[in-house]
Amino acid sequence: MRYISTRGGIAPLRFQDAVMMGLARDGGLLLPETLPTVTADVVDRWQSLPYQALAKEILALFIDDIPDSDLEDLINRAYASFAHPQVTPVTKQGDVYILELFHGPTLAFKDVALQLLGNLFEYVLARSGGFMNILGATSGDTGSAAIAGVRGKAGINIFILHPHGRTSPIQALQMTTVLDANVFNIAVRGTFDDAQAIVKAIFNDLDFRDRHCLGAVNSINWARVLAQVVYYVYAYLTLRTQGERSVDFSVPTGNFGDIFAGYVARRLLPAGCIQTLILATNANDILTRFVNRGEYSRGQVRATSSPSMDIQVASNFERYLYYLRGEDGRAVRADMEGFAATGRLDLSAFTGRVCEDFRSRSVSEEETIATISEFYRRYDYLLDPHTAVGVKAALDLRDSGRPVVCLATAHPAKFGAAVSQAIGSEPPLPPALAELTNRESRCTVLAAEIEAVKTFVAANALR
């Protein structure tokens, strides 16, 4: 298996090289040369596998430069830290199924990928004798999950940018109370889009990138997306044991990474297994406008109760655009250069094709809070605001003839203010979160400027 750039400007890479490169050197995102597919008899064989064994089967389709025994060990260690034996269990609540992705160490879906990615980085560096400085941006959960994945690991420093004052208090504490010597938190005075743009600009400075051995931990890193493919297949197989042969998924997303993993899973499985992907956005609706009208245009970021989705430039969108453009890297490059210059892409010619892959709905703040309240009243089950966005979209857009699985992307206790507004009381804090308020924290606040971040990274990077 080789990996190529969405912009067509690099030689094909092996998987380990793709993991370490993160963002392609031509500014694009990495993808497999060919997406693998499996037959119905393979799905039959996978049916009874526990999560870790299924992950090994799926990842092995995309990875041919890590021995099977090593890959199995990396996976088993990654998920040993999860509190639920099924890793990502599925539970039926009313008219929908909930795929609980919050049983990892930071209580967010990012743990599923980042516990594995941390192990992959460590594995590759141990064999090369090298080091790396991870640079990433977070709208909330990626940062704490990335830090949890690499804290204390030899040969790795990690620098995480988050928008100052725009994450939930718990999300900020999960990052800033980690005091390991290899962890550096940077709060930028701006939005997540500002932070993400800084990270991409620094990665595109190839001299700086090479000099400091930068590595990517955001979902621009293909390994992040790949690890998330597994839980779509696992959820499908769970419902298949109950007699269902076709399912829909509803995915709250701002950066397009999680739902793109669903797109890969849909293409991996035989036709019809995963039928519809419901793309749910909050008031920051760039992706909904794209699906419904073919309009991909940057707007003003609006602060909401689901801050991890407060995004107006979806960094993983380019991967899907590559397939829309018939795998034409030159066309993708032209599109992304045009978008960088104007903040707008007219993709209305593809609306019919896009609507075969996705349905989409933007969910307002009022609807989000109402959904948390109603779901709790009817089923005694708490949704975090991101999950509530996905549930509301699912209830409105689902096909009544098929089950719909809603991705629960975070534990509700991470967003106590929104939950309290919805149900009238704060959700109980798990012990791991309750103790955070008593811990010392450490964070550097910087202007949302490329040079300010580069100066800080250069002063603190491993050499």
Mean pLDDT of 284-303: 95
Residue 239 has pLDDT above 80, yes or no: yes
Q: State the pLDDT at residue 168.
A: 87
Model confidence pLDDT, tens digit, residues 86-97: 999 999 999 999
Model confidence pLDDT, tens digit, residues 15-30: 999 999 999 999 999 9
Mean pLDDT of the chain: 95
Better pLDDT: 369 or 141: 369
Whole-number percent of the chain with pLDDT over 70: 100
Confidence grade of residue 429 (pLDDT, cut at 50, 70, 90): confident
Q: State the pLDDT at residue 139.
A: 81
Residue 85 has pLDDT above 80, yes or no: yes
Model confidence pLDDT, tens digit, residues 73-83: 999 999 999 99
Model confidence pLDDT, tens digit, residues 52-74: 999 999 999 999 999 999 999 99
Mean pLDDT of 347-364: 96
Domains of the chain: 90-107+225-423 (3.40.50.1100)
Confidence grade of residue 432 (pLDDT, cut at 50, 70, 90): confident
Mean pLDDT of 330-335: 98
Catalytic residue among 110, 153, 392, 414: 110
Whole-number percent of the chain with pLDDT over 90: 91
Model confidence pLDDT, tens digit, residues 140-185: 788 999 999 999 999 999 999 999 999 988 889 999 999 999 999 9
Model confidence pLDDT, tens digit, residues 412-421: 999 999 999 9
Residue 370 has pLDDT above 90, yes or no: yes
Model confidence pLDDT, tens digit, residues 214-233: 999 888 899 999 999 999 99
Confidence grade of residue 354 (pLDDT, cut at 50, 70, 90): very high
Q: Catalytic: 110? A: yes
Confidence grade of residue 363 (pLDDT, cut at 50, 70, 90): very high
Q: Are 95 and 395 in contact (CB under 8 A)?
A: yes
Q: State the pLDDT at residue 438.
A: 87
Mean pLDDT of 130-138: 94
Mean pLDDT of 252-261: 96
